Amino acid sequence: MKFSEFIEKYATHPQYHAPTGIELHAKSWQTEAPLRMLLNNLDTRVAENPDELVVYGGTGQAARNPKALLQIIKCLLELEEDQSLLIQSGKAVGIVRSHPESPRVYIANSNLVPAWATWDHFEKLKKEGLMMYGQMTAGSWIYIGSQGILQGTFETFAACGAKYFKGDLRHKLIVSGGLGGMGGAQPLAATMTGATFLGVDVDAERILKRVESGYLDHISYSYTEAIALINKAKNTGNALSVGLVGDIGDVLELMLNDQVIPDVLTDQTSAHDPLCGYVPNGITLEAARILREVAPEKYKQLSMKSMARHVGLMLEMKNRGATVFDYGNNLREMAFQGGEKNAYDFNGFIPEFIRPLFCDGKGPFRWVALSGDPEDILVTDKALVEAFPNNHQMIAWLQKAEKFVEFQGLPARICWLGMGEREKAGLLFNELVKNGKVKAPIVIGRDHLDCGSVASPNRETEKMLDGSDAISDWPLLNLMANTGGGATWVSFHHGGGVGMGYSQHAGMVVVADGTQRAENCIRRVLHNDPASGIFRHNDAGYEKAKQNMKDFDLEFK
């Protein structure tokens, strides 16, 4: 197929979708895989705004602009097995000599020298066409739609239930703001744990998208109707989710006035970006779009003032008995800058619920069937259940996922696996491809939110035992270990999840294509990747990680 024919069929802006089946368009599966995943990120069933190449998180892009995207596609179609493509903030900038077991693509997104690592400087460079914001999996081409965050949200809500509600979230109400690409997973995650859920978003289109995808049960334009629905569901123990069109601050204020106190309160608005992610209180969506352009500084001030009010209301909910936690969008910091001096009086979700898992090298292991056939995912689900019969949490999740999760774009799955489990699963998938049990190769990746791949003091590395929250040597070491191990593509980003200046993080993807080369790379990468998380937490002094150093033979000889 000629380049022009490929573009016409798969990449006519803004209508993007990935090829499926076993026919190669690139020169090997090692380049076909990133090509398909890039296009899948921009599929209208997956991406928030394909017209702007935005995948999720307000402004998280897969490529810098349509012209740069076409050049990346052309390079991937032509790349040889002894070459690697360099991507600088969503633009192909060079091809280097490498070898068959080295990464085919090296990606660096949004990275700035620390003293210049601010939204203002980033926006200046972005306007000049020099950078883009890659978020986490948007710019590293391994986003899989809402399911990607769904499983982690399910784990978090379940852990919250275990810690505060004796493991039972029935008859409990979870309230949150934001139903976009990340927050849109919350309604289904909540109902999967048995809870009643109320989500609030100013953008009705986002809520409707969650209803259409099966992640949300009901949309409401009326506060009175929404409260009546959730009160009835909570009282009867019905796992119902309602999306209310409105301002989260206004809704929380009304709930306080009506003495409707949620059992659990968090937030998933795009608070990390006060200019393009958050809509200030009292402003319509259309007015917000105009104000961003004509008075960006005023807009940011209004956003942070609104976030201060938002967090102040969350703190009052906490005072009245709600379990409140920050869900990693840097809302507390923006609120602090907006004037709420007590913004950090509730914890983030990592120190509250997830850090013990990190000490085990556990994190979000995800995979995608390049065949495009959902049956291939069911085959992998079954294989994992047979391989890990004692991992009851994983099995319970897979059963729920098969029942409730609708695929977006290429069929994919995610579950949390730890040290030893990831390597075993990867080798198992490679055998499934080799033996024809699945129809085409499988892409194996993860979120950047993982045990050893992030430095983010307001999220993944908040309140580290040794105070090493801001040390970003660790994600760089993770990146180098996965590069040396032979990941199919690697990435290093700045600012994902919490905004410019607040995080650095690494991503990796490895492809199981049934070959010995793939087996070699999988053995190294899916060992190195979780091991780096155990190293990081062992060095910080966590006893559980110290024990895992011994159990997995990771200690110095």
Buried b (16+ CB within 10 A) or exposed e, 233-272: bbeeebbbbbbbbbbbbbbbbebeeeebbbbbbbbbbbbb
Q: What is the pLDDT of residues 469-496, one digit of tens each?
A: 999 999 999 999 999 999 999 999 999 9
Considering the domain boundaries, does residue 248 fall inside one? yes
Considering the domain boundaries, does residue 544 fall inside one? no
Measure the CA–CA gap between 459 and 422, rounded to whole angstroms.
24
Measure the CA–CA gap between 345 and 358, rounded to whole angstroms.
24
Q: Domain check: are 160 and 132 in the same one? A: no
The reported pLDDT for the residue numbered 261 is 98
Q: Domain check: are 131 and 151 in the same one? A: no
Query: In sequence order, what are the residues at sequence separation of 6 or more whose Cβ sits closer than 8 angstroms to the Cβ of residue 214?
Result: 188, 404, 405, 406
The reported pLDDT for the residue numbered 348 is 94
User: Helix 223-236 crosses helix 248-257 at what angle (to 10 degrees)?
Assistant: 60
Q: What is the pLDDT of residues 165-178, one digit of tens each?
A: 999 999 999 999 99
- State the total domains in the chain: 2
Q: Domain check: are 516 and 466 in the same one? A: yes
* Residue 57 reports pLDDT greater than 90: no
Asked if 442 contacts 383 with a C-beta cutoff of 8 angstroms, the reply is: no
Question: How many CB atoms neighbour CB 530 within 10 A?
Answer: 30
CATH code of the domain in which 505 resides = 3.40.1770.10
| Residue range(s) defining the domain that contains residue 96 | 1-142+364-531
* Residue 181 reports pLDDT greater than 80: no
Question: Average pLDDT in the 412-422 region?
Answer: 96
pLDDT category, 428, cuts 50, 70, 90?
A: very high
The reported pLDDT for the residue numbered 149 is 85
Question: Average pLDDT in the 118-123 region?
Answer: 96
| 160 counts as catalytic | no
Average pLDDT across the chain, whole number: 96
Backbone dihedral angles phi then psi of residue 217, each to the nearest 5 degrees: -85, -40
Considering the domain boundaries, does residue 555 fall inside one? no
Alpha helices in 95-192 (DSSP H): 119-127, 147-164, 186-192
* Residue 557 reports pLDDT greater than 90: no
Active-site residue, selected from the candidate residues 160, 415, 451, 521: 415
Q: What is the pLDDT of residues 441-452, one digit of tens each?
A: 999 999 999 999
Considering the domain boundaries, does residue 383 fall inside one? yes
* Residue 501 reports pLDDT greater than 90: yes
Of 319, 346, 373, the one marking the end of a domain is 346
